[in-house]
Structures are given as C-alpha cells and as structure tokens.
Structure 1
Amino acid sequence: MKRQLILEDGTIFIGKAFGSDATTMGEVVFNTGMTGYQEILSDPSYCGQMVTLTYPLIGNYGINRDDFESICPAIKGLIVKEVTEYPSNWRNEMTLNDYFKMKKIPGISGIDTRKLTRIIRQHGTLKGAICSLEEDPQEVLGKLRSTVLPIDQVSQVSTKNPYPSPGRGKRVVLVDFGMKHGILRELIGRGCDIIVVPYNATADEILQLSPDGIMLSNGPGDPKDVPEAIEMIKGIVGKIPFFGICLGHQLFALASGADTVKMKFGHRGSNHPVKDLSTGKIAITSQNHGYTVEENSIVGTRLVVTHIALNDGTIEGLKHLEYPAFTVQYHPEASPGPEDANSLFDQFMQMIESEKQEVSASCQNVQI
C-alpha cells in the first residue's frame, strides 16, 4: 500500500506504508546512526517527532525485548529508505512492521531519505504529515501549516508518580524529563539506591528524600517549556551534588542564568565527536537534541564550559565554579552508540563521595 509524506514547504514524497494506517503530524528530524533503531524509536526525547533514519536498511535485526529505552515509544512516525520484511538475528522476536502495528505508529519506506535529509539541513526542521494517498495534499498542507505543535512533551513522557529502584549504595534522585532506561541501568550497575521523581517535583520534595546526589535526565522539546524544573534546580544547586544529561544540561544552564536557542536541525546520531577542554581528549558520543546553550550567555554566570562539539563548536558540557554540579549535552549512557563517555557516571559517584567526606570533616571540626 502506498503512502505519502508531506512537508510544510510543499514537498511531497510517495512511499510504501508500514506499521499503523493512522495519519500523523509532527516535526521531521533525522538521525545519522547506522545501528540502534530500536533504541532510537523508543527514546522519549523524540516525543512529537517523526524520525528519518539516514542509514538505508532498517529492521534487519528485528525487534527484541532487551533494547528498549522506554516501555511506550513516543515518536509520531518513522521514515526510512528500506524496511526489512524478514529480519535475521538470534534475538529477533518480531518485525519492525509488526511492532509498529502493535504500537499504532505509522511508517513510510521507499522514499529518498538522502533528499529529505538535505532539505532539513538546508531549511531546518520542518513540520510534516504521513497520510494515505487518498487524502488531498493541499488540504493536508493547509492543516499542517496551521497546526501549532504541542509544547507539553515532557509532561507526556515523564513518570506521573515517584517510584524507587532500591539499592544499597548512594541515594540518587533521578528527575524524569523523558528518561532513557540506559541512565537507570548505569546507576543500578553502580549499586545506587534510586528514586525516580516526576519532572514537576519541587526542590523541597526532592530534598525531603535525603539524596546523596541528583540526576537530571534527558527529555524532549524546548527547555523553556519546563519552567517548574528551572525553579526546582535553583532550589537545589549548592545543596546537593548533581549531574545533568541533555535536557537536564539545558535546564541547568537556564537555572544558572544562561540562555538556550533552537538549532537549525540539531544533533541526532551516534558519531558526534566531543572535546574535553580540560584533557584535550576526544570522545565519540551519542546525541539527540534540537536546542543548545547559547555560548555568549555563559558570560556573567558562575558556569564554565567543559566540553565542545568539534563539528560546529557548540557547548557540550558545563560545570559550576562554586558548587558540585556538572552537565553534558550528549548521552554518556549511549543506548545506542559508543560508550566513550560512560566514565562520567563514575565521576558523578566520586563527586558525591568527595562531598560527603567534606561534610563529614566539617562536622568533626565543629565538634572539636
């Protein structure tokens, strides 16, 4: 069955349908990763977006139970060059087509994804619609141009209630803005006693949990659409060590007096080189974001840039000059992608331990 992809600039692609028959609209973005499509389609940071995969063959190793980054995928649709009907992998449990039908997500294949990517790179991210050939393109285009995309993505993908993931190590409160399971796995692997809280948890509610550290997760959309999180961070910085990833990094910057701006087409892929300014070392990183911290806005804050993207020079890491707090724009948990930056979780653990030792030494001095 044929299907069409219509962009707000009037471009129309005709391809083959897979997955759900539903009509969908969203922001069209592209990801350059060569593998990891299951983690990509289940990453909550893609909430409200239709993802174009630039690698031409997708679905060749099927869908398995282990590689999900969330239980319910939040993407609006998937756009590929070719989708495999008969996957071949020992972990395969179902085809991509069957999974998308089950989750009611539409997809389109057989289009020129290279041309589509070049359009996005030239004009920036665009609104798009996936629909049947029976629908009038001009009517769809009119609806598309008049549609205002939602700005409540974080509330859609965040947990509604706090929940624990018990451990015997350091207590970490993980603020869920659209958390990938990879972040939780890394903390569990380090024995942490984790409490996951919603995006709108207040500073007081978090501090009442007596955390040793705070982690701010990744998530979708514009960080300025989550003002309650910015206020929460202001109430915590300087009191508890914390580590922010992706959207958490941007929210930390806003809470510290810096600014964020929307990028032309963002960073989405698993091969982005990032330089650590303190060591000069380069890490190949996994990224998924459409906003960045504005470089000039750092002036006058108590922040210092720790990492930069080598492709375009944008800010990829920050730390506070006075308090135990640092953030990165990329995904050190990978999922998918390289694990070059996985040691940042160990750095977070060491920061928590150092802070506890300083507090303990300070208390002993007071007693003396």
Structure 2
Amino acid sequence: MQARLLLEDGTLFTGKGFGSEGESVGEVVFNTGGTGYQEVVSDPSYCGQIVTMTNPLIGNYGITRDDFESFRPYIHGLVVRRHETIPSNWRAEYSLDHLLKTYGIIGISDIDTRMLTRRIRQFGTMKGILTTGNERVEELLERLGATPLLRDQVARTSTPTLFKSPGEKERIVLIDFGSKYGIMRELNKRGCDVIVVPHDTSADEIRRINPDGIQLSNGSGDPKDVPHAIETIRQLIGEYPIFGICLGHQLFALASGADTGKLKFGHRGGNHPVKELSTGRCYITSQNHGYAVLDESIKGTELEVTHINNNDKTIEGLKHKKYPAFSVQYHPEASPGPLDNNHLFDRFIEMIREHKRANPMRARQAHLSETLRGELHYAQK
C-alpha cells in the first residue's frame, strides 16, 4: 500500500503505508527518542499531530498493554524510516501495525525521515496531510489549506468525569488536561489518594473535594486555548500547594501573570538537557511541547525561574516566590525517558506536608461530618 505525506510548503514524501487507510491532517513534528514509541503514540500531548520518529527502526519490540500512557492514541499519523512488521519481544502482545489499524491511524514508512526532520528544524513545524489515496497533489494542497489545525485538544483528551485512584495518604486533585498515566502512577506509588477531575472543573468544585494539593497535568496545544483553566488556577494559587507539569507549567505561568509563545519546532524526545539554577546540576529530561514560557514575561510577576534548557536557554522550571507552588516544562514521570527527575514528586509531597504544618486545619473527617449534619438538618426542615 502506497502512502504519501505532503507538507504545506509543497514538499512531498512517497513511501509505504501501514496501519489504517484513508487521509489525515495534522501538525508535523518529530521526536528524537531512541526508544518508547508506544508511549509516544499513546501520549495525549500529541493529539492532532503527525509524529515523525527520528530513530530509524520502529515497531521492533511490538506493543504491550503495560506501556500505554492513555486509554487510546490521539495522534493523527506516524512517520518512520523503517517499520518492523514482526516484533521480537517476549512482552509483546501485538504489533504496532495492529494498534494503528484498531484506532484508524495512518502510518508511512520508507521515507527519508532525516531529511524531513532537517526541514522541520529549518522552517519550523507545519501542517501536513497523510494519505493512502491517489488524489493529485494540487487537490491535496487545496484540502490541506482548507483544513485548520485542532484548537480543542484538551477537551478531546481530558476525562469527561471525575474518577478516583485511592490511596491512604495525601489527597491530590489531578486536573486532567490530557494527562499521561505516569503522573498518576508516581503519585500512587507515594500513597497519594488521587482524584482526577476534568479540565473545566471550577475552583469551587475543587475546594469541595478538600484536597491537600493540586497537580496540573500535561496536555496538548496552545495553553491560551483553555482560558477557563487559567482562571481556575489563578483562584487556587496560595490556597493549596500546586505542582504543574508541561502544559500545567505553562498554565501556572499564565495564571501568575507571565506569557507563553510558540517554539519553532518544539522539544520532543527523551534526551533534553536541563540545568537546575540553584545547584548548577544538569538533568537529562523527557519532553513533549511546542510552546514555552517567555523569559521576558517573568519580570513583574511573583515567579522565579528555577530551570533552563541547556540547548536553547528556554525556561524549564518555575516557582512562586510567596506561595507553595512550582512547575516544570519537562516530564518527571519519564514515560518514556530517563528517571532523573522522579524526586520532584517527593518534593511536591514534602511541600504539602510543610504547608499543612504551617497551616493546621480541621481533620477532613470532621469537616465531612459537619457537612453531612448540615445536609441532614436541612432535609428535616
């Protein structure tokens, strides 16, 4: 099966198709990870994007149910140099081709992914159309120009309803902007009682849950496309300890008065060096984002830069000067990627405990009992 990838600048790649048949439009990006294609494909942050893997061999270890980062893939296409149809891995349950067919995702192989990556690096990310059809290039370009990129990725990938992942220790509200499972796993490993809520949950609804801390998840797209989330976070800063990751980092910055902008080609991969300013130490991080907090916008806010990217000096970490709140642009849950930064979840838990020691509150059970007594009294009246 032939497949073609056409970029909005007219560049055409012709290769072999795998996965599903059909046509798909998305933002063409690249990921530099040496492994972890299943986690990449199932990362909700790639919603609406056609993902190019720079590693030349993809599919060689198949797909396993334990390595998914979301309920289903949200990518709009997968571009690889070589697609291995027969996986060799004792954990594999089925092939990458089977996964893409199941969810109607088109794949293309046997094209020059190095040339494609260099073109994106030179000219920036751009729209592309991936097809297994035989339409003329002029027709494809016309359809590509008439098809806008998604702006509602957060709504597409967020949980529609509240759900709970029980634990016996700190209660964490995880606001789901397209969260990877790895975040919930790391919190659960620390005994946290995690309550996952939709992206449009209001501040008052979160207060009624009576959390000890708030986790802002990763997600896809432009953070300014979810102004309701910015307002919710603005209301909660100072009331609860907050930890933001990726899109959550950008939303935390916007809620604190800073600004964000689009990067030329983004940071996507498991090998990005990040410098911690307080220690001078360099961490290798897993990243997936196309937007960043603008350095000049930090002036005049209550934010302090804690980490920078060693490649392009963009902001990778922030903390609030007055309140217990911090964020990072990279993925400390590292799925896939290095495990250098798991300690940030420990830091978040310790911040929650310090906040509770400094601000003693009534026991949660007593609070709930009073609420129930009030409801019973009202019912009797």
The alpha-carbon deviation at position 175 of structure 1 amounts to 0.2
Q: 1:208, 1:3 → 2: CA distance?
A: 52
Q: 2:53, 2:309 → 1: CA distance?
A: 22
The alpha-carbon deviation at position 136 of structure 1 amounts to 1.2
Partner in structure 2 of residue 21 of structure 1: 21
Q: 2:340, 2:18 → 1: CA distance?
A: 35
Structure 1 residues 103-252: aligned runs within 5 Å: 103-252=103-252
Q: 2:103, 2:151 → 1: CA distance?
A: 23
Partner in structure 2 of residue 8 of structure 1: 8
The alpha-carbon deviation at position 8 of structure 1 amounts to 0.3
The alpha-carbon deviation at position 132 of structure 1 amounts to 2.2
Q: 2:36, 2:185 → 1: CA distance?
A: 17
CA deviations 1:241-267 (Å, max 9, x no partner) are 010000000000001110000000000
Partner in structure 2 of residue 53 of structure 1: 53
Partner in structure 1 of residue 33 of structure 2: 33
Matched positions, count? 363
The alpha-carbon deviation at position 133 of structure 1 amounts to 4.7
Q: 1:81, 1:339 → 2: CA distance?
A: 28
Letter in 1 for 2:54: T
Partner in structure 2 of residue 43 of structure 1: 43
Q: 1:150, 1:62 → 2: CA distance?
A: 29
Q: 2:9, 2:362 → 1: CA distance?
A: 62
Q: 2:133, 2:240 → 1: CA distance?
A: 55
CA deviations 1:204-262 (Å, max 9, x no partner) are 11011000000000000000000000000011000000100000000000011100000
The alpha-carbon deviation at position 165 of structure 1 amounts to 0.8
CA deviations 1:50-100 (Å, max 9, x no partner) are 000000000000001110000111000000000101110110111111111
Partner in structure 1 of residue 378 of structure 2: none
Aligned with 1:217: secondary structure? strand
1:325 maps to 2:318: no
Judge conservation of contact 2:2–2:14 (CA < 8 Å) in 1. Answer: yes
Structure 1 residues 287-366: aligned runs within 5 Å: 287-360=287-360
Aligned with 2:67: secondary structure? coil
Q: 1:110, 1:133 → 2: CA distance?
A: 17
Letter in 1 for 2:47: C
Runs of 4 or more consecutive aligned structure 1 residues displaced over 2 Å after TM superposition: 360-363
Greater Cα shift, 94-103 or 29-38: 94-103
The alpha-carbon deviation at position 362 of structure 1 amounts to 12
Judge conservation of contact 2:22–2:133 (CA < 8 Å) in 1. Answer: no
Q: 2:361, 2:233 → 1: CA distance?
A: 26
Letter in 2 for 1:294: L
Q: 2:337, 2:37 → 1: CA distance?
A: 11
Q: 1:362, 1:190 → 2: CA distance?
A: 23
Aligned with 1:139: secondary structure? helix
1:91 maps to 2:91: yes
Q: 2:269, 2:132 → 1: CA distance?
A: 29
The alpha-carbon deviation at position 360 of structure 1 amounts to 2.5
Aligned with 1:66: secondary structure? helix
The alpha-carbon deviation at position 310 of structure 1 amounts to 0.1
Q: 1:213, 1:141 → 2: CA distance?
A: 48
Structure 1 unaligned runs (5+)? 364-368
Partner in structure 2 of residue 260 of structure 1: 260
The alpha-carbon deviation at position 361 of structure 1 amounts to 9.5
Q: 1:69, 1:94 → 2: CA distance?
A: 17
Judge conservation of contact 2:23–2:133 (CA < 8 Å) in 1. Answer: no
Partner in structure 2 of residue 278 of structure 1: 278
Q: 1:80, 1:191 → 2: CA distance?
A: 39
Structure 2 unaligned runs (5+)? 364-381
Aligned with 2:209: secondary structure? coil
The alpha-carbon deviation at position 279 of structure 1 amounts to 1.1
The alpha-carbon deviation at position 146 of structure 1 amounts to 2.4
Letter in 2 for 1:327: S
Aligned with 1:114: secondary structure? helix
1:80 maps to 2:84: no
Q: 2:26, 2:361 → 1: CA distance?
A: 54
